[in-house]
């Protein structure tokens, strides 16, 4: 008889949330994590005493009465999080090389319109219409509002609308179009593919409210882990799953890298569906299903420069920067080599010790996996072995950093003189530390031209194997949380679970 009701592969946010929900409902749960640190993209790391986030720079929907606030109350962590609310009148600042003006995305829908109408007074009605339509699109996704609803999980309307075209249909002002789409690196926005619903669900959560985690997002992992253990759940790190073994149509056990077998009644994969398929030894799953998952395209990856700032050199700002070389904000994802970067985002972490000055800054640009492909057979999981991918790789990262700093100088002219030290990450970093397929930071890329192709169900063709995590629904703290509700809804009944969450 298997000891565990639920074995979860990966301790990313989705794995932790499923473990919490199911252990709270009496299931015997085990999480297996390949790394020492739990949390996947929730992990933080420290350089020169400054804390850096891997993948949680800011979070939306955390005001009282909003969706993520309610979920976090249910998880028992809302009142324990150390958060700072971002600038009400401009949590995101959008800017362009040919224009000294900064354009603000403000919190609260009316305020969002008000602030942008100062820059675009002739576009007030268009702005109102934009915010109305964004909310209408979100309304077609009931789970995002924690609504009990028999409607299909994916909204039936707006699935096949392109985000860039939609914005262009709302306003003919080219600069305003770019300002409205200017935070699209939050979802690796691609003018050719990105669906409107992805844009709408992401911008909606931040317009509702925008917060940073003080001293990093790993606090979410720590708090969830504590609750899971209190519920009787078990978590093992350094436990890399290498095989999922099926016999007679059900998964019987998984195998770890060291050969250990772990049996379970049900298995939830919090890792990429394609990687899950690669690990699965099965005679049940047809090639068509497997190949569909293996063939899905992943969104772009990133090149990140994490800068430790000299003490008291740069005043903390409670905003993020999105800066573009050109007016078209939907093409940056496709620039490579000498042309890149075409844009950058800057996130300023908030630390308890920093006071009025910032300790650090994270600069993010896009990078495609092909740019680091020549090093794809090198693997680094110990930060100390800095140059183990070779000198050429170090040289490549340094050149890329210099190009990024040239662009950052347009916004922060003194940037080079503020740097105490820096560290960089590439698509290979995300592949090796989080297990991100092709280093794609947000998982499977959505495409409005074939929306159902990228629809991943939490259930698979094997009745006791399930998916959760950012590839299921959407990425981001909210997207992954909604995904966990879907996965656990299969076990508990979705409306039962929603009622529990709404009553928390
Ligand atoms: C650079 C970056 C910036 C981001 N910024 C934001 C932001 O500001 N706000 C926001 O809301 N979201 C942001 N995100 C997205 C968000 O962080 C992710 O969508 C979310 O954390 C993913 O959660 P997940 O459950 O899919 O698991 P993941 O984080 O993908 O974790 C998967 C886990 O599985 C483990 N694993 C992999 N393979 C195995 C194996 N074989 N055996 C055992 N364990 C395994 C990994 O080590 C990892 O711990 C960002 C992401 C990135 C990368």
Between CA 77 and CA 60 the distance in angstroms is: 16
Strand partners of residue 305 = 363, 424
91 domain residue, yes or no:
no
Between CA 100 and CA 229 the distance in angstroms is: 52
Distances (CA, A) of 142 to 154, 185, 372: 9, 25, 40
Q: How many CB atoms lie within 10 A of CB 266?
A: 21
Q: Do 325 and 366 share a domain, yes or no? A: yes
Tell me how many domains the chain contains.
3
Q: Is 278 in the pocket of ligand 1 (CB under 6 A)?
A: no
> Which residues of the chain fall short of a pLDDT of 70?
1, 150-156, 381-387
If we measure between CA atoms, which residue out of 166, 127, 182 comes closest to residue 330? 182
- Residue-wise pLDDT tens digits, 343-371: 999 999 999 987 899 999 999 999 999 99
Q: Do 240 and 349 share a domain, yes or no? A: no
If we measure between CA atoms, which residue out of 70, 88, 96, 366 comes closest to residue 206? 88
Strand partners of residue 51 = 46
Which structural domain range is residue 130 located in?
105-213
pTM over 0.85, yes/no: yes
pLDDT for position 453: 87
Q: How many CB atoms lie within 10 A of CB 214?
A: 16
99 domain residue, yes or no:
no
Q: Is 40 in the pocket of ligand 1 (CB under 6 A)?
A: yes
CA of 171 to the centre of ligand 1 (A): 35
Q: Is the dihedral of CA 245, 249, 251, 253 positive or negative?
A: negative
Atom 16 of ligand 1: nearest residue by CA position: 476
Q: Which of 441, 461, 481 is the last residue of a domain?
A: 441
Distances (CA, A) of 191 to 7, 55, 108, 147: 39, 23, 26, 31
Asked if the bond preceding 360 is cis, omega within 30° of 0, the reply is no
Q: Do 193 and 118 share a domain, yes or no? A: yes
pLDDT for position 454: 86
208 domain residue, yes or no:
yes
Between CA 39 and CA 217 the distance in angstroms is: 9
If we measure between CA atoms, which residue out of 158, 169, 154, 168 comes closest to residue 136? 158
229 domain residue, yes or no:
yes
Q: Do 290 and 329 share a domain, yes or no? A: no
Q: Is 57 in the pocket of ligand 1 (CB under 6 A)?
A: yes
100 domain residue, yes or no:
no
Sheet strand arrangement including 83-85: 59-60, 210-213, 83-85
Q: Which of 154, 179, 213 is the last residue of a domain?
A: 213
List the CATH number of the domain containing 482: 3.50.50.60
344 domain residue, yes or no:
yes
- Please give the number of the atom of ligand 1 that sits closest to the Cα of 435: 37
Burial class (CB in 10 A: 0-12, 13-18, 19+), 87: middle
Between CA 394 and CA 402 the distance in angstroms is: 12
Q: Do 312 and 269 share a domain, yes or no? A: no
357 domain residue, yes or no:
yes
CA of 478 to the centre of ligand 1 (A): 13
Q: Is 21 helix (H, G, I), strand (E, B) or coil?
A: helix
Q: Is 316 helix (H, G, I), strand (E, B) or coil?
A: coil
CA of 341 to the centre of ligand 1 (A): 24
- Counting ligand 1 atoms within 8 A of each CB, the residue from 475, 479, 484 with the most, and so the one to mutate, is 475
pLDDT for position 378: 85
- Counting ligand 1 atoms within 8 A of each CB, the residue from 18, 186, 187, 271 with the most, and so the one to mutate, is 271
Total residue count of the chain as it appears in this document: 504
Residue 425 carries which DSSP code? E
With beta carbons less than 8 A apart as the criterion, state whether 294 and 277 touch. Answer: yes
**Angle, CA of 163, 165 and 171, to the nearest 5°:** 105
- Please give the number of the atom of ligand 1 that sits closest to the Cα of 479: 19
Q: Do 223 and 206 share a domain, yes or no? A: no
Q: Is 34 in the pocket of ligand 1 (CB under 6 A)?
A: yes
Q: Do 382 and 420 share a domain, yes or no? A: yes
Q: Do 329 and 434 share a domain, yes or no? A: yes
If we measure between CA atoms, which residue out of 339, 320, 368, 69 comes closest to residue 205? 69
Q: Do 292 and 304 share a domain, yes or no? A: no
173 phi, psi to nearest 5 deg: -75, 115
pLDDT for position 151: 57
pLDDT for position 150: 63
pLDDT for position 355: 85
Q: Are strands 250-256 and 301-309 parallel, antiparallel or unpaired?
A: unpaired
Q: Do 347 and 415 share a domain, yes or no? A: yes
Atom 45 of ligand 1: nearest residue by CA position: 10
Q: Do 318 and 397 share a domain, yes or no? A: yes
291 domain residue, yes or no:
yes
If we measure between CA atoms, which residue out of 1, 5, 57 comes closest to residue 30? 5
Longest dimension (CA), the chain: 70
Q: Do 307 and 418 share a domain, yes or no? A: yes
Q: Which of 388, 409, 441 is the last residue of a domain?
A: 441
């Amino acid at each position: 008889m298997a000891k565990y009701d639920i074995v979860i592969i990966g301790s990313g946010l989705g794995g932790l949330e499923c473990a919490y929900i199911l252990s709270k409902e009496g299931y015997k749960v085990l999480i297996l994590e390949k790394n020492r640190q739990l949390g996947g993209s929730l992990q933080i790391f420290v350089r020169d005493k400054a804390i850096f986030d891997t993948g949680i720079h800011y979070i939306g929907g955390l005001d009282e009465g909003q969706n993520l606030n309610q979920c976090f109350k249910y998880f028992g962590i809302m009142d324990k999080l150390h958060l700072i609310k971002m600038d009400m009148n401009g949590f995101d600042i959008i800017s362009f090389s040919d224009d000294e003006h900064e354009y603000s995305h403000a919190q609260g829908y009316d305020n969002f319109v008000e602030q942008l109408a100062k820059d675009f007074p002739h576009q007030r009605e268009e702005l109102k219409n934009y915010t109305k339509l964004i909310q209408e699109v979100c309304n077609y996704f009931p789970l995002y509002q924690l609504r009990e609803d028999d409607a299909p999980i994916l909204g039936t309307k707006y699935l096949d609308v392109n985000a860039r075209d939609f914005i262009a249909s709302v306003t003919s002002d080219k600069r305003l179009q770019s300002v409205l789409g200017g935070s699209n690196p939050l979802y690796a926005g691609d003018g050719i593919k990105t669906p409107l619903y992805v844009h709408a669900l992401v911008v909606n959560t931040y317009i509702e409210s925008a917060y940073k985690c003080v001293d990093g997002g790993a606090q979410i992992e720590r708090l969830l882990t504590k609750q899971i253990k209190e519920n009787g759940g078990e978590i093992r790190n350094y436990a890399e799953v290498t095989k999922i073994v099926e016999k007679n149509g059900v998964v019987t056990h998984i195998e770890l890298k060291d050969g250990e077998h772990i049996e379970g009644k049900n298995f939830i994969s919090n890792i990429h569906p394609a990687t899950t398929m690669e690990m699965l030894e099965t005679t049940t799953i047809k090639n068509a299903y497997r190949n569909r998952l293996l063939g899905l395209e992943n969104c772009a990856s990133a090149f990140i420069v994490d800068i430790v700032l000299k003490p008291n050199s740069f005043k903390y700002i409670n905003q993020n920067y999105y800066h573009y070389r050109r007016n078209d904000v939907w093409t940056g994802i496709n620039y490579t080599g000498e042309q890149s970067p075409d844009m950058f985002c800057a996130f300023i972490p908030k630390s308890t010790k920093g006071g009025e000055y910032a300790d650090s800054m994270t600069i993010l640009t896009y990078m495609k996996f092909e740019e680091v492909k020549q090093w794809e057979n090198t693997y680094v999981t110990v930060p100390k072995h800095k140059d183990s991918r070779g000198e050429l790789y170090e040289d490549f990262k340094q050149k890329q950093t210099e190009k990024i700093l040239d662009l950052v100088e347009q916004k922060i002219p003194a940037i080079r003189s503020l740097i105490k030290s820096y560290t960089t990450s590439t698509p290979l970093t995300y592949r090796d530390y989080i297990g991100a397929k092709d280093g794609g930071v947000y998982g499977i890329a959505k495409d409005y031209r074939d929306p159902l192709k990228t629809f991943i169900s939490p259930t698979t063709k094997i009745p006791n194997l399930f998916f959760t995590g950012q590839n299921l629904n959407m990425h981001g703290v909210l997207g992954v949380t909604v995904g966990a509700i879907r996965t656990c809804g299969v076990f508990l009944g979705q409306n039962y679970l929603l009622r529990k969450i709404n009553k928390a």
